[in-house]
Structure 1
């Protein structure tokens, strides 16, 4: 049995919640800091080299990070000054161009032992059969260190290229498609091969009686199967991650997610989002407390003194690209911010959609008063450092205090830490912030291991044995994928009868 990620090396459970820490990255320059590729210490322009990712992975493992979360977009931000105008994104390098996220995993995994990888793939991008093969391959090669961040996509520029020139489907339809998509993924991973299908004895590599078609026929997909990747018994199914707090997104997370990534500007707003998803999970899907972990995006700016940190922030902001920031804002919200004058208070003249977004925007720069007029220029300047998330600046002690405050108020389980300047931001976190968190017993000192010295899987790292699941490497019994696993020793007929019986009890149709 794997040791709990929530226990210290001597087996004594700490009084404080130990945090989950992930680095938030993307195959691009700048990410949440448009224009900072121009900073003399920034190396994010080298995102398209193997060395960039292997050195980052080694740095994160030195800091004992849980993992590397790799975001993705599949088209340029082209709403600003639009429609279909990607000039600002191109000039500023605002998440354009980009690399496909899975391409960096094998090299990064080869130079690390414990670091997990959360990969973003959109359900409009490719057939689930193909994604299952890619995810299964990566999870096998990393011995269970992979998770899938399920997104339904939000950029028309991506949809036009992925859906034969068609625009992005309506929001509700995207989630309906995502629901069917993830169920196909579950079936391919769990119901196509039994745990003991690969026998390697008596001249038999795979026993064909332990492999079956899934014969999925739905509204969006027809997938006969079987899957072509053998079961990875380390964790059997990659960790399911979700990011999105719309009504449909919360419902999807409550049913399927093991990790939820949220971005808000205050711990109070974050706590409300977490409570909403937990409530839906418990009331609608009978998923108990602790079955979903929550992460919040932050950008730490750390100095030896408060004054040094403030000076760093202002220096970084001076390199920010205002046009690129507006391209990002318009892409994130779907609202072309160029329709407003620079000095206009957008919350006074904006549409209901942009007003509701900016009502939650209480991001502050050093020395800024509490209530600032939310003009187009102000919002853009705030985006240049930290993007869509808050910036925690100060000494390592001050930043750790702010992290504790957010945890105490919101109940969040951990943080996705992104950079202003790469790799300096991550180096400061590893060298100064993490030791301070360790001193406060908020973060582990070493990666836990199995009794034989082998590393934990992504799922074991995140959950340990804290939620009482019987199989630490697999989803909890209350997760919808749990019942779909074809177990060792179960014949094909026995499995199909069990699967059919469960589907009848739930009011669904039997699989063919």
Structure 2
């Protein structure tokens, strides 16, 4: 049992129960993580471009006391499978896809507490205008915004956004080097430009903003030169909650430095434990503690009122899985063209410039519950929920399994993918949440405040040991010298 879990003796002594957290995992497309399930009569993912789908889902998740909704995104096409986009287009695999940013405002307008994890890439937009967009959304959500920092992994996205003379940052580790500076610029804009009382809004003097309290950031780096001031007044959190999903060696180093919430995915508890232990050590090396991040693991829950009904539901869902669509996703995630493999070939010897942790998870998991993974088994596994496991059973059975994952691995909660939407989320709320609440492991009411405060109960702003605080400390020094 991990240090994050509870020993039996501790339970009997009255130690507070574990807290199990939920996020919903979705994307503004037809096929997110479960290729083929768009054909199921209960699935509503085809309504991805209908605002009513998103506002209804937001209300449902708020009623279910979810921490938030995590919106994935890509700005490319999964065209590695068959070296062409045909399979992705045919299967609807994350294409067509629309911009997730406008969805946040609409969902925030119909909720009061739900958090929003927004995915955008550091390779495709200059940080200066991006800083304004994020500040805007943090204002409009009342401080409920998180940003999932991605560096990009699809070659098609890099090819279609490069400009003449642009530095090629598509190499895996170089993408993170670039992202480090990208965040440095953003931290300076969000934390180090506007003093907290710069906005006076004084009708008598006619001064809205005190010019001497707004400061240029004077950034000059390897990739960006940003000399000026942030054009937006500070939002409730200033810096949004930083989400990150990198689990490669370089990605986990980046996450240990910057992330406040980390999303991980692994097919087995042992592999997931290894990921958490590596991240914990890297947090220590970065001068941060394990409790400075909330770790959510990707998982898909298929549940009903009884085990038998849940198993029948899972079997029904499996009958809709599109294996070619699954391998199209896996090809993009692993950086290899699985159309060149036979279905019974082993998944070994793969080198990747894409999501390296995806390759490592399945190669290293061989031996735990099978001699090795074949391409067919990989496609079947990823047919529902992508790179995460699928948990099936009644509310009681699922709660038991989630407790096991929490105790064995040391994670804090789950990023819930869906088989069908919104039905998978509703089923969790109807069957699993009441069980966890009865066990004292899930909230029974909302906590007010910003997303950062709700996650950590430490206030609205980044803590002193976060790299964004360096920009804030500089501003504090200026304010202190004035007083």
Correspondence for 2:457 among 455, 464, 480? 464
Measure the CA separation in 2 of the matches of 1:363 and 1:27: 36
Aligned residue pairs total: 461
Measure the CA separation in 2 of the matches of 1:222 and 1:487: 19
Measure the CA separation in 1 of the matches of 2:301 and 2:36: 18
Measure the CA separation in 1 of the matches of 2:351 and 2:137: 43
C-alpha deviations, 1:397-452, integer Å up to 9, x for none? 1111111001101110111011100011011011111111111111110012xxxx
Structure 2: stretches of 5+ with no match in the other structure: 1-13, 353-357
Kindly tell me: are residues 356 and 213 of structure 1, through their superposed partners in 2, closer, same or farther at Cα, counting changes over 3 Å?
closer
C-alpha deviations, 1:19-70, integer Å up to 9, x for none? 2211011111131101111000100010011001000000000001110110
C-alpha deviations, 1:219-264, integer Å up to 9, x for none? 00111221111012x2221001110111111111111111111011
| 2:253 corresponds to 1:251 | yes
Correspondence for 2:226 among 206, 223, 226? 223
Work out whether residues 192 and 474 of structure 2, in 8 Å CA contact, stay in contact via their aligned partners in 1.
Answer: no
Measure the CA separation in 2 of the matches of 1:346 and 1:457: 43
Residue 266 of structure 1 corresponds to which residue in structure 2? 268
Q: Which deviates the most, 171-180 or 158-167?
A: 158-167
Measure the CA separation in 2 of the matches of 1:158 and 1:483: 32
Correspondence for 1:276 among 275, 278, 292? 278
Deviation at 1:337, TM superposition (A): 0.9
Kindly tell me: are residues 193 and 78 of structure 1, through their superposed partners in 2, closer, same or farther at Cα, counting changes over 3 Å?
same
Q: Tell me the TM-score normalized by structure 2.
A: 0.91
Work out whether residues 363 and 373 of structure 2, in 8 Å CA contact, stay in contact via their aligned partners in 1.
Answer: no
Work out whether residues 366 and 373 of structure 2, in 8 Å CA contact, stay in contact via their aligned partners in 1.
Answer: no
Kindly tell me: are residues 231 and 487 of structure 1, through their superposed partners in 2, closer, same or farther at Cα, counting changes over 3 Å?
farther
The 5 Å alignment of 1:474-489 reads 474-485=461-472
The 5 Å alignment of 1:328-339 reads 328-339=329-340
Measure the CA separation in 1 of the matches of 2:304 and 2:457: 34
Measure the CA separation in 1 of the matches of 2:366 and 2:431: 27
Q: Tell me the TM-score normalized by structure 1.
A: 0.86
Measure the CA separation in 2 of the matches of 1:319 and 1:253: 36
Measure the CA separation in 2 of the matches of 1:489 and 1:388: 44
Kindly tell me: are residues 267 and 223 of structure 1, through their superposed partners in 2, closer, same or farther at Cα, counting changes over 3 Å?
same
Measure the CA separation in 2 of the matches of 1:424 and 1:263: 22
Name the SS of the counterpart of 1:81 in structure 2. Answer: helix
C-alpha deviations, 1:1-26, integer Å up to 9, x for none? xxxxxxxxxxxx96122122110111
Kindly tell me: are residues 219 and 270 of structure 1, through their superposed partners in 2, closer, same or farther at Cα, counting changes over 3 Å?
same
Name the SS of the counterpart of 1:485 in structure 2. Answer: helix
Measure the CA separation in 2 of the matches of 1:21 and 1:14: 22
Residue 48 of structure 1 corresponds to which residue in structure 2? 49
Residue 28 of structure 1 corresponds to which residue in structure 2? 29
Residue 315 of structure 2 corresponds to which residue in structure 1? 314
Residue 396 of structure 1 corresponds to which residue in structure 2? 395
The 5 Å alignment of 1:44-443 reads 44-82=45-83, 85-164=84-163, 169-201=170-202, 202-232=205-235, 234-283=236-285, 285-347=286-348, 350-351=349-350, 356-361=360-365, 370-371=369-370, 374-443=373-442
Q: CA RMSD in A?
A: 2.2
Measure the CA separation in 2 of the matches of 1:373 and 1:313: 24
Structure 1: stretches of 5+ with no match in the other structure: 1-12, 365-369, 449-454, 466-471, 496-512
Deviation at 1:380, TM superposition (A): 1.2
Measure the CA separation in 2 of the matches of 1:271 and 1:32: 23
